[in-house]
Chains A and B, each alone.
Chain A
C-alpha cells in the first residue's frame, strides 16, 4: 500500500512539473490555435539561457531567474510578432512547418554552442533536501516548490483569463479575431502578448526542471509530448484541467517506472491514448 501511495505522491510531484510545461502550451493554443511543435525546445532553450547566466555571467541564481523571466517575455513576444504571426491562421500546416523548423534550429544551435552534453543548474544543497513523512515517503524540497509554483500559476492564469480586461481580450480574440479589432484590440499584439506570457510560464518550468535534472539540447521533443498529453488528458480550455492532466500523466509514468524503467514513458503515452479514446474531452473540460 505504501508503494502505491509513494507512486501517487511522486507522480503528483512529477506531474506538477508537467503541468507547468503544459500551461504555456494551453495558453497559446487557447488564444491563437497555434500548435507549437517547438514548445519543448523553447523550454530547453531557456534552460540553457539560465545556464549561461549563472555559469558564464556568474549571476546569483535568484537574479538570474528574474532576468530569465524578463528575457523570456521579450523573446516570446518577438518570436510571435516577427515570425509566428505570419503563420497563425486556420490552416495548421504553415505553423507546424515553421515551428518544426524552429525546433531543428534551436536544437542544433544549442548543440553547436554548448555541445551535446547534458547540463543542470547547481543550487547548492537545495536540490538534495527533502522531508520524510511517516511510512518512509520522502518529499523533496524542490518538487514541493515546483508543486507550489504550479498551483500558484494555475490560480494566476485562471484569474487573468476570467477576471481581467486583458483576459477578456484574449478570449474574445480567440473567438473572433476579425471582430475583436472593432473594439480596438489588435490581434497581432494580443497574440504576441499571449506568447510572451507563455514564455514566462515556460521559463519558470525551465528553471525548476534544470535544477532537478540534467538537460541536453535534444530533450525538447520529449517535453513537447508531455506538455501536449497533459493538456489533452486534463481537457482543453482550462488551466486547472491542464494542471490535473499533468498530475495524471506524472502518476501514470511513475507507475510505469516502478515496473520497469523502459516502460515508464510508454505507460504515460498509453494512458494518454486511453483517455483520448474513452473521454476525448479530457478530465476537466471547460464547460462552454
Chain B
C-alpha cells in the first residue's frame, strides 16, 4: 500500500460500531431480559446452571483482562476467587451479613489483599510471574486448609441462608449473578473504550514506547491487577453462594486458571466477546463430556496444544479476523468516506501472529 503524496488526504471518520456489533448488543439485551425473568419459567437446574455460568464468565473476563490488556499471565487468579468465596462465607456465617451483600464486600477485601500480593508478585516477570502467582495461591489454599474453624481440608457450608425459602434464595442468587455479569461486562466495555483502555493496549503492545508517550506503565498494571482481583473475587463469592458449600481445593484450585486459559484459547486474547463465547462453549462441553473423565481432559489438553500452535489468536480470533467480525465495538476502524469501495479496507495489515498476542484489535 503506497501513499501518493501528490493527492490531497481523503477525509475520514473513525467508526466504532459494525453492523454485526449492533446486532450482538441488541441480542445481548434480549438475553438479559430473558434471564431476569427466568425464576418464573425455568427449572431449578437451569437457575443453578446460570449462576455457575455467570461465575465462569466473570472469572474468564477478568483473566482475559489481566492477560490480554495488562499483559500479565497469571496462574494464580484462583487466589482471589477463593478469597471471594471464603470472605463471603465468613462474613455471612460469622459476621451476620446478608450473603448477597457479603459477595461485593468480600470482593473489596480481596482487592485490598491484592495490593500487598502485587508487591510480591511484580518482582517477577513473564513466565516466572505466572508460576509465582500460583505459589501465592497455594499459600492461601494451604493456610485455609490448616484452619480447622473453617472446616480444614474438607471445607464447610454456608449456613446463613438456611431460613430463607428456597425459591426466594435461588431467585435472589440469579439476579445477583445477572447484576454481576452486567456490571463486569459494562465495566470492561467502558474501560476499554476509554483512554485508559487505549493506554493499556499501547502498553501491552510495547511498554517502552507507551511509557515514552506518557503512559504510567506501573500504575496501569497495578490497576488492572486490582480490577482483575476484584472481579475474580466477585465470581468466587457468587459461585459459592450458589453452591452453598466451599472447600479449599474447590476454592483455590488451579483448574480455575486452566479454565481461564481454555477460554482464551477459544476466544482469543483481548477481545470482549472472546471470553463470553469461550465460557459458553466450555460450559456446554463440560456439561456433556465430563462424564468421559480422563478422555475428555486429554482431548481438552490436546486441543489447547494444537490451537495454540496453529491459531495463535485463538479460534474466535481467527474467525473474527478472517471475516472481519467484531461483536463489541471496542475497536476503532478508520474509514475513508470519499474513497471508492477498494479503499475501504482498514489500515494496517495483519501483524505476524508470533510477535503480537493477537491481531484482531484494530486500535
Q: Could you list which residues of chain A lie within 8 angstroms of chain B, going by C-beta atoms?
A: 29, 33-35, 37, 83, 86-87, 89-98, 100-105, 107-109, 111-112, 221, 224-225, 228-229, 232, 260, 262-263, 265-266, 269-270, 272-273, 276-277, 280
Contact = CB atoms under 8 A, between A and B. Distances in A.
B109 to A, nearest CB: 20
B258 A100 contact: yes
30 contacts: A35-B128, A37-B130, A37-B131, A86-B309, A91-B354, A91-B356, A93-B73, A94-B308, A96-B73, A96-B130, A97-B305, A100-B258, A100-B304, A101-B304, A104-B297, A105-B298, A108-B297, A112-B294, A112-B295, A225-B138, A228-B132, A229-B135, A232-B132, A263-B142, A263-B146, A266-B139, A266-B146, A273-B135, A273-B139, A277-B119
Contacts of B295: 108, 112
Contacts of B131: 35, 37, 224-225, 228
The 6 A-B pairs of least Cβ separation, nearest first, read A35-B127, A101-B304, A104-B301, A105-B301, A101-B305, A108-B294
Counting chain A CB atoms within 10 Å of each CB, the highest count among B139, B269, B308, B355 belongs to B308
Given A232-B132, A273-B120, 13 more contacts: A34-B127, A96-B127, A96-B261, A97-B264, A104-B300, A105-B305, A108-B295, A111-B294, A260-B146, A262-B145, A263-B142, A269-B139, A269-B142
Contacts, number: 135
B87 interface: no
Nearest to A281: B123
B298 A109 contact: yes
B143 interface: yes
B67 interface: yes
Given A96-B261, A225-B131, A265 B142 contact: yes
Nearest to A95: B127
Is the contact region of chain A dominated by helix, strand, or loop, or is it mixed?
Answer: helix
Given A34-B127, A104-B301, A112-B294, A98 B308 contact: yes
A273 B127 CA distance: 16
A31 B297 CA distance: 31
A187 B286 CA distance: 40
Nearest to B143: A266
B75 to A, nearest CB: 7
Given A33-B127, A232-B128, A269 B138 contact: yes
Interface string B64-79: 0001000001010000
B312 interface: yes
B90 to A, nearest CB: 20
B123 A101 contact: no
Contacts of A276: 120, 123-124, 132
Interface in B243-294: 254, 258, 261, 264-265, 269, 294
